[in-house]
Structure 1
Amino acid sequence: MTITETTSTQDAEDPPPAPPPAPDTDTSRLVRAGALGRLLRPVRPHLIGCTVLSAVGTAAGLAPYIAIAEIARAALAGAPDAAIRTWVAVGAAGAVLRLVLLFASSRLGHYADAAILHHLRVRIVRHLGLLPLGWFRAAGSGRVKKAMTDDLEEMHQLIAHSLRELVGAVTAMAVGLAYLVLVDWRMALVTAAVPAAMLVAYRVSMRSMSAHLARLAAATGRINTTVVEYADGITVVKTFGGGDTGLGRFGEAVAEHTEAMRVWVAETRISSALSRLLACEPAVLAVVLAAGVPLVASGGLPAADLLPFLIVGIGLPTPIVPAVQGGQGLRQGRMAATGIDALLSREPLPRPTAPRPPDGHRVEFDRVSFSYDGVTDAITDVTFVCEPGTVTALVGPSGAGKSTIASLLPRFYDVTGGAIRIGGADLREIPAEALLSSMSLVFQDVALLRDTVTENIRVGRPDAGLRDVRRAAEAAQIHDVVERLPDGYGTVLGTDGAGLSGGERQRLTIARAILSDAPIVVLDEATASLDPDSQDAVQEALSTLAAGKTVLVIAHRLNTVRGADQIVVLDGGRVAETGAHDDLIARDGLYARMWRAQRNGADT
């Protein structure tokens, strides 16, 4: 038969959005630490070597400062020239060793960074290929983008920079303080009091950092999602003059991010300013002089022993800022690792333990039920059969479950009750590659690759020759349009289709489906929102695609499926009635009422 399915609205059956992130609790912090350790396990030896080199190199970097202090003490004490030359050699050797070890640490850290990011990107991409396709509709492309770019960037900062900086800063403070204690423990305590007070002020300013970072991360995720969604739909938004409306969600996400940052800054402005003040060298110098000069004047401290505190001591708070930044990088890396680990931990569709190929292409829905949220069924106890060589039309009110059924057949989701069989084999027993290769899917939403027209069509059969691609394009009524493009079949398309109209882009996807020559065809709102000329061309292409196949088509306008072999009427997620057009009209049920309503609407 000729399919003339025409639609004007899309089912409001999209799955619910992904749940919001869990609150930041002690348990979630433990999860983050565990996630980070699991993700970094392949490069753990490299990271250990990197941190050891950083620690030793930083300690060696203090040698020139200690040498200067000891040379001054030796000179004031009238020590022999040999002692001074020894400290000069120690200082020079420390400076050279610092350069060599920190360079080696940096190289090893960046090597580990490149290795683990490559490993994680490959893991993520492979795992995404195993997830149910329906998950991408619920999660949104912004969530994938966050894991692939933002979270991995945070991991890069942690591995290549923050970890080395944190270890080096802690080592510098520990070695410097140990040296000062050897000189005079009283002055060492006085000098250490300044960075200690600075750390207390910092801890006060960061007392609720986890909650603020979680709020900022959630706001950033919303911004990413809205940006991607707005960019993908910019053509539609601008066409209908809805720019302000389209930007509304983006504006709300930005406002939430701004408010989260404002609240955090307002809460920490005093303690943060105090911590920065105490981290300055003049603050340490003032404290050292205030405590040291009276001791020297009273004879309780040799004047020469005050010099190490003026040379090494005033620099004691300097590593604190890198340590703080490294600590923040560690926290952000843990949060990023949580997002990546959560994605990698998401259960893929179960693979069949005993794969079973279908025997033919008879499609059977056997008491099928499905719920997006695990609570409310989108469809319940749906039963019908699509015989090979016939067309089955799904009709019903918006939200009745038509698109849900179309999503279950290619196994975008697994059923929660009952079974769907192809050729007698349960979908869950059929390998994913064999299942998808047996179907041609044509949906309202057109997905084009950033590649040539040829490769966009060849997706349907990657090994197809150019002649087969052209034949498919001719059958889809798109060949003449392609020939008029700047480079013909070599024209590179973007997500906007390189200026192609909606109907032309739709015909490209039909050409892709024709080339695949799959025995089962699923048409979900395939001609919605098209102009009449495009509809005629697409209808002719669809008729070519569906010839002799097992066809399941979603229809909104009932007069377009009058000739269907079987019409399944859905209502509230259940099958209300099944039959041919004339039989359903004679029953005077839901279908007949819908038919009269549409006829009356067309007449007016």
Structure 2
Amino acid sequence: MIRMLLRVLGHEYARPMRRTMALMTTTAIAEGLLYALLVPVLRALFGPEPGDARPWLVAFGAAVAVYAALRYISDLNGFRVGTTMLRGVYHRLGDHLARLPIGWYGAGRVGEVSVLASRGVLQAMSVVVHLLAPFISACATPLTIVAVMLAFNWRMGLAALAAAPIVAAIQVWTARSTAAADAERHERDHEASARVIEYLQAQPVLRAGGRTAERFRLLDDSLRHVQRASRRTVLATLPGVVGLTVTVQAMFTVLLVLGAYLALGGNIGAAEVLAILVLAARCADPLLSLADIGGKLRATRSELARLDTLLRTEPLPEPREPIQPVRHDLEFDSVTFRHGDRTVIDDLSLSVPQGQRLAIVGPSGAGKSTLLQLLARFYDVDAGAVRVGGVDVRAIDTEVLMARIAVVFQDVYLFDGTIEENIRLGRPGAGEAEVRAAATAARLDEVIERLPGGWQADVGEGGALLSGGERQRVSIARALLKNAPIVLLDEVTSALDPVNEAAVHEGIERLMAGRTVVMVAHRMRTVQRADRIVFLDGGRIVEEGGHDDLLRRGGRYAGYWNISLTPAASE
């Protein structure tokens, strides 16, 4: 587990971690050596001259002071290193997540990462602050005490040492026997959390159906699964706990019998036997704590394994010698892209001259949005090439590529903050006048005027305090402020009311002016002004041409256009 921890921490924190472990080990050994002084103290106290114990008692007091100082320094260092590493892991995790392809973020994976980035990281890093020192102490202190026993009486020392491999075997066996139960418990906990969220989100549907008094069967089932998994975890752990307790008690009993036998035979004094039994009793507490510490370490190891797996996920490779394009034309050259076992884009070739507008239409699942994602390099193609300005996007530095592209999605996400802060994400260094001009061009100024707080109005988490049309206007203002030469639009008006749609269209027209544009739209009227229209189906181009030309052909595009003109489609 230590190797995995160091791998998760990275090279920067490996050395401080090793120093911390060395200090903790030194402290644990010092604790064991401290108890060694009990032997001469007890020998003198039970001897003919009890006063001879004074120098040993002074030495014992000095040793306690040294140990206390070491323990203080060790614990303080552990907390400092732990908090520093926690901050470092968060930064490393954030940097790594920012470099992973957008396509990696599925619906289930986002929830998993959010849990891992909050509770998981805290639990994984708690090993440095709360678990590592007790674990090292539970291992090193008893071994040091056994070494002291060997020095005073090799027979009793060997008897105590015989318990060490048994304790180690019990720990290994317990870890193996509980691994499956721990994994199942984690899976069931994750499922139950998802069901709780689902139950809360489903309240409008449940209440509309008059089912407010009913129990939610899926949630009940998942909670029962958690209960069964918890029971199996406890049952899997119980034999190890009992075995460890029996082993420690058996060791003490053997030492007691052996000590009595040696004392009766005159091979050892009663004071030495008493001192060694005190040392043995001191061994019992840390050994028995191994059961509790071991369970916590196994849970921590599971979180570390998930963190390690995430951090070892390969991001999209960056070019060693990046090329900077000088033009802004776009090209798909025999592109094939697969998502799992499904071919989304199939040997597609397409070009968009600089400054022109391309509209992509077609049925759901045709691969329209995927084309935009490939242009922005959210994914890498499986075959062929996607080029910007004649340069393969894989040969362009990611920051350079994204600086040339403004993307407006259908589902707009706004960060919890003010409207102005969300607009500034397009270009953080923009002046106040530029921000105001972008907002005005996106017709956002009229929204700001009616909001309490104006520019400083809080949009809420995800923009929840704004309507869909208002969020879309913020997104367009952000793209206008970015002033990128390439604009990608993905279904930006598909779910807007007529008033917001008109305002958003006006902002989009300003955004598209003089730029290379690729737009995906379900509402056919939004694509009439495109220089060229491509009808996509099954990842292939079925038709392409101008709006009027495609209508004259009477093909798939003309059929979609006619359907869009019906009253039901217009509503």
Q: TM-score range by the shorter chain?
A: 0.7 to 0.9
Partner in structure 2 of residue 315 of structure 1: 282
TM-score (norm: length of structure 2): 0.86
Q: Pick the aligned partner of 1:382 from 308, 332, 348.
A: 348
Residue 312 of structure 1: how far off its partner (Å): 1.7
Are residues 1:352 and 2:323 paired? no
CA deviation profile, 1:312-344 (whole Å, cap 9, x unmatched): 222222111444555556655554444344333
Counterpart amino acid of residue 140 in structure 1: R
Are residues 1:54 and 2:9 paired? no
Are residues 1:539 and 2:540 paired? no
CA change 1:360–1:222 in 2 (3 A) is: farther
Secondary structure in structure 2 of the residue aligned to 1:564: coil
Distance 1:590 1:412 in 2: 29
Moved more, 475-484 or 295-304: 295-304
Secondary structure in structure 2 of the residue aligned to 1:393: strand
Are the aligned partners of 1:212 and 1:260 in contact in 2 as well (CA < 8 Å)?
yes
CA change 1:323–1:264 in 2 (3 A) is: closer
Q: Pick the aligned partner of 1:503 from 469, 477, 482.
A: 469
Partner in structure 1 of residue 434 of structure 2: 468
Distance 1:122 1:168 in 2: 31
Partner in structure 2 of residue 20 of structure 1: none
Secondary structure in structure 2 of the residue aligned to 1:316: helix
Aligned residues: 565
Partner in structure 2 of residue 172 of structure 1: 141
Q: Which has the higher contact order (CA 8 A, sep 6+)?
A: 1
CA change 1:248–1:363 in 2 (3 A) is: farther
CA deviation profile, 1:481-534 (whole Å, cap 9, x unmatched): 222323211123322425211111111111111222223221111123333333
CA deviation profile, 1:44-76 (whole Å, cap 9, x unmatched): 443443333333333333455443443332233
Distance 2:426 2:3 in 1: 44
Partner in structure 2 of residue 552 of structure 1: 518
Are the aligned partners of 1:393 and 1:566 in contact in 2 as well (CA < 8 Å)?
yes
Q: What pairs with 1:274-289 in structure 2 (closer than 5 Å)?
A: 274-276=243-245, 289=256
CA change 1:239–1:479 in 2 (3 A) is: farther
Structure 2 gaps of 5+ residues are: none
Residue 367 of structure 1: how far off its partner (Å): 2.0
Are the aligned partners of 2:177 and 2:236 in contact in 1 as well (CA < 8 Å)?
no
Moved more, 405-414 or 147-156: 147-156
Partner in structure 1 of residue 271 of structure 2: 304
Partner in structure 2 of residue 409 of structure 1: 375
Distance 1:35 1:423 in 2: 44
Distance 2:489 2:278 in 1: 78
Aligned-residue sequence identity (percent) comes to 35
Distance 1:241 1:360 in 2: 55
Counterpart amino acid of residue 530 in structure 2: A
Are residues 1:87 and 2:56 paired? yes
CA change 1:45–1:406 in 2 (3 A) is: closer
Secondary structure in structure 2 of the residue aligned to 1:312: helix
Counterpart amino acid of residue 495 in structure 2: S
Distance 1:549 1:240 in 2: 44
CA deviation profile, 1:290-328 (whole Å, cap 9, x unmatched): 555566567665433331243222222211144455555
Q: Pick the aligned partner of 2:176 from 207, 210, 230.
A: 207
Counterpart amino acid of residue 349 in structure 1: L
Residue 176 of structure 1: how far off its partner (Å): 1.6
Secondary structure in structure 2 of the residue aligned to 1:358: coil
Q: What pairs with 1:455-494 in structure 2 (closer than 5 Å)?
A: 455-494=421-460
CA change 1:304–1:576 in 2 (3 A) is: same
Are the aligned partners of 1:64 and 1:92 in contact in 2 as well (CA < 8 Å)?
no
Distance 2:218 2:520 in 1: 31
Partner in structure 1 of residue 339 of structure 2: 372
CA change 1:180–1:442 in 2 (3 A) is: same
Q: Pick the aligned partner of 1:107 from 71, 76, 80.
A: 76
Partner in structure 2 of residue 392 of structure 1: 358
Partner in structure 2 of residue 22 of structure 1: none
Residue 242 of structure 1: how far off its partner (Å): 8.6
Residue 255 of structure 1: how far off its partner (Å): 5.8
Moved more, 518-527 or 566-575: 518-527
Distance 1:35 1:57 in 2: 21
Are residues 1:75 and 2:45 paired? yes
Secondary structure in structure 1 of the residue aligned to 2:541: strand
CA change 1:329–1:544 in 2 (3 A) is: same
Distance 1:532 1:179 in 2: 86
Secondary structure in structure 1 of the residue aligned to 2:105: helix
Secondary structure in structure 1 of the residue aligned to 2:534: strand
CA change 1:242–1:87 in 2 (3 A) is: farther
CA change 1:53–1:514 in 2 (3 A) is: closer
Q: CA RMSD in A?
A: 3.7
Are the aligned partners of 2:159 and 2:251 in contact in 1 as well (CA < 8 Å)?
no
Distance 1:248 1:382 in 2: 46
Distance 1:248 1:426 in 2: 52
Residue 570 of structure 1: how far off its partner (Å): 0.9
Are the aligned partners of 1:507 and 1:541 in contact in 2 as well (CA < 8 Å)?
yes
Structure 1 gaps of 5+ residues are: 1-28
Distance 1:41 1:125 in 2: 17
Partner in structure 2 of residue 452 of structure 1: 418
Secondary structure in structure 2 of the residue aligned to 1:140: helix
Counterpart amino acid of residue 90 in structure 1: A
Partner in structure 1 of residue 546 of structure 2: 580
